[in-house]
Homo-oligomer: A and B are copies of this chain.
Amino acid sequence: MLEALEASDGFLSAQQLHATLREQGQRVGLATVYNRLRILADTHQVDVLRTESGEALYRRCGAQGHHHHLRCRRCGSVQEVESAEVEAWAHSLAKKAGFSDISHTIEITGLCEKCHG
C-alpha cells in the first residue's frame, strides 16, 4: 500500500488508491484503504491535503519532517517546499496574538511547465 503511494508522483485520493491496488490484482476493500490511510496520516507517514471540493488526497512524502507543497492543479505533480523564514513568521505571528498549540498549512498551486497552455 505504501509502495503504491510511493509509485505515484502526485497525490492520490483514497478511491484512486483503491482502484490502483485492485488493478494490480490485490484484493483489498475500500474500507481497509480508508482505515490504513487514516493510520498512516495519524502517524505522519503520509501527508493529507484537501481539494477545493473537499476530497482528501494522500501522498507519501520524500521529506520526513514538516514541509509544504508546490502542486500542479492539472496533473497533480508535487514538489516539496520549505522555508525557515516562513515557518518563523507563521509561528511568531500566532504567538504574538496569544495563540498556543500553533500549526499552519501552506499550499502553493499553479500550472506546471508541462501543463501550461
Write the residues of chain A forming the contact surface with B, with a CB cutoff of 8 angstroms: 50, 52, 54-56, 70, 72-73, 79, 81, 83, 85-86, 89-90, 93-94, 97-113, 116
Known contacts being A50-B54, A104-B106, is A70 close to B99, with CB within 8 Å? yes
Give CA–CA (A17, B87) in the complex, Å. Answer: 34
**Most-contacted residue by chain B among A99, A100, A107, A109 (CB, 10 A):** A99
Copies of this chain held together in the complex = 2
Give CA–CA (A108, B89) in the complex, Å. Answer: 10
Contacts of A98 in B (CB 8 A): 112-113, 116
- The reply to whether A70 and B94 contact each other, CB–CB distance below 8 Å, is yes
- Selected from B86, B110, B116, the residue in CB contact (under 8 A) with A86 is B86
- The reply to whether B109 and A106 contact each other, CB–CB distance below 8 Å, is no
Min CB–CB distance A31 → chain B (angstroms): 18
- The reply to whether A110 and B103 contact each other, CB–CB distance below 8 Å, is yes
Min CB–CB distance A52 → chain B (angstroms): 8
Give CA–CA (A89, B110) in the complex, Å. Answer: 15
9 residue pairs from A and B, CB less than 8 Å apart: A50-B50, A54-B54, A83-B93, A85-B89, A90-B106, A93-B108, A100-B116, A102-B109, A102-B110
